[in-house]
A and B are shown apart, each in its own frame.
Chain A
Amino acid sequence: MTTNYAASAAALSRSRAHVKAAGLGAGASTIWRITRLALRHPFKVGIALGSTVVAAILQLSIPQLLGMAVDQTQTILAADNAAGVAEAALLTTALILLAVSIGRGLFTMTQNYFAEAVGHHTGYELRLACYEKIQRLSFSFHDAVHSGDLITVVMLDLEGVRMFFSTGLVRLVLLTMLIGIGAYLLLSTDMVLGLTALSFVPFVAWRSPLTHLRLRATWLDLQEKLGILTKVMEENLGGIRVVRAFAAQAFEMTKFDKASRAALALAHDRVGIRVRNTSAMTLSFFISMGLVLWIGGGKVLADEITVGTLASFLTFMTILQMPVRQLGMLVNAFARASTCGTRIFTLLDIDPAVKDGPDAKELAVGDGTLRFDDVSFAYPANPELGVIRNVNFEARRGQTIGIVGPPGSGKSTIAHLIPRFYDVTGGRITLDGQDVRDVSLQSLRRAVAVVQQDSFLFTTSIENNIAYGDPWAHNPRIERASEFAQLHNYVLGLPQGYGTVVGERGVSLSGGQRQRMSIARTLMLKPAVMVFDDSTAAIDAGTEQRIRSAMTEFAKDRVTIIIAHRLSSLMHADEILFLENGEVVERGTHTELIESGGRYKALYDLQFRDEDQNDGGAA
């Protein structure tokens, strides 16, 4: 099982190179896939599209009605008819006009609402799918993909896809209807005048999408520039003590100004691009309008058309102006949906490297014997480099295994392989004779608990954090776990006790307190195998000693694995493995290893020499 996530990581990042590389063909299939998502709500889609068509027709009939009204005043005037008849005709036109206006409003509302509703429902479904996917993707994926990239995917890209139905598809239908029917009506009324009135359309239809695409490209550039500026500011504020300590304020201002100027220059450019184009488009529209006035006026003079027709042409133009300008937004919506959609679907299509086999059984825990049979592992990104090689050991219930070795020797890897955060690339790991790959992930992870090196705390109360793995636990259990982890007294001293909120936006805890919390929440899981992955490094030796003695009872009926670089943490283990470059180079009890005088002994001397010397000195 070697899934390389480097390609996914690149696809999910927002690097400009990647955005540019995404071709048009991929775009079309992405658009089609988004459309299919929308079609999962056929009723709403139907109402939205139906309303769009009706709204467009009603919208286009307004200029006709207005022209008719103008003509009614003219022809009747010319015929010098009885005033009553003329006024009745005008009243009819007015009532139709009113009804059409109200109808247009109602259908536009329905169209917009249902289009948005389809978008929001699609967004909701995508959000859930992303959430679930992120929860299930294995560690190797999360190692490869920057969390910031992932967050932008599920926030910004999801928005881009969600908006597509209303800003892309529905608008496409609306614009096609408006421009198509509008052009037909104009041209069928008067070919020459119709062509004149539509003469601005090709220019704008070409210019507007081009501008939007350029604005989009420069927008991405600007985001990149602003990203640099953000980084400069964030680092400055986060490292303000370093800045002050080195009297580097002037230096930092230079950095800021450089980043700021680059972004400002680009922002100015963008204003220029936008303004030049909107102005040019408006001008082209007005030129057409002027031509209609000129040619149409001539035609009225020559009695070829009525004043009402001229008026309706001019009104038509005001109605057509908006949709034609919106062609740019339409193109933009398609471009955005295709890049955003590509990233979202990349995420959703990734297969977790570690997942249940087709016939995964529940793990049956009996004696609770853990065995490593010739286990090897290499990271997918670097399959040549074995992180651990041919590791063998066995631990029975009640036993403790200690693992020690220099940084990078593969200690943590062993911790990660047991609950299948990664899958072994050679050999096998068994629990009571069952290969961990043959049992369901859920049952495995309930049986194997790892106290991780960096303990992530959730922004919620201390009790919720401790009960994270068992949210239905009763209070006494939570407090007992907390007592075992030597946390209880500290918690009672807090103003809100167990209700105190910790984590990102809560009370900040010291490294040692975080690790104690992490131990407490792992104790809640009642696992058959408990792994401490260098998780007491920030806890002082005295407290660690007390945690260990409190846990003696707890450790009796489970396997305990302790990974540490502080030897006092694991000297009591039943077997100690000394790992170097991924291989077990020494093994035995503490006494045996000291006697054999190898690397373990050397490390022991390094750590304890200080104190021994001191004992001599102080005496």
Chain B
Amino acid sequence: MIRLLSLFESSNFQWVFISTILLGMAAGMVGVMSNLRQQGLMSDAISHAALPGVILAFLLTGEKQLPVLIIGAGISGLIAAFFIYGIEQSTRIKRDAAMGIILSVFFGGGIMLLSIANRSGGGQSGLDSFIFGQAASMVRSDTYVMGGLALLVMLLIFVFFKQWKVVLFDPQHANMMGINAHLFSSLYTFLLVLVIVIVIQAVGVILMAALLIIPALSARYWTHSLLILFLLSGFFGGFAGAAGTLISSSESNLPTGPFIVVTSSGIFILSLFFGAEKGLFHLKRYINKTALQSDGTSGGDEK
């Protein structure tokens, strides 16, 4: 415990800590949109597909500059998303299969490139940390960029909250109301890719889903309000990010991703059982309550 607290004496760690909280929050909020669009796995596919971009950017520039690597990740993630939508629309292949193809091809390509990079760089490239994540390896200037972009993502979600709500619930109705659902759909894909690339360093490409899918799912057990869902999912994501960073930084060379997964799945299990709106224990109470109510007032409204 004391060792954990002593981490905060380093100002670099303070910045890493704050930025992973922001990253976790942004990922948790974008995850709400992914879940409501029933595209949870899309984020997993895009994050796996970001790996070859990272390695290619490194091989081309020969430097491990996080902003450059992130641009590489973003480009290859967007290409993957484009391919998935393209395959789905122009062939008979369904989306899940399209995601499976793209995920494995891109990730396999990424691992292949990584082995090339490691051989030429004598295994010292440090690119391995992109697979399972290593928040502690971020430097201070990186945390400014990442944290700033995370804030931008959250800002875009809250400024257009009303629009997101109607686009997520009923895109056709959004169009009827003069809100271009297609435009917001593209903005969502942009936000998703942006969140994935800024979180890559901290969580790694393999376990990205832990920050994007699980916090949003957990939050759904506590509320029926979209606004609270966003806030709560952001909170869970931020908490998981913080816990993961803290534990992994306590020893050298511990990956961050697995600890984030452990924390966020812990939150999920608690929510599953005790969630105030949909949790298993609560549901039982709810059923009892409504059974009593409908006994008293048989309105005959339901068919």
Is the pairing of A and B real? no
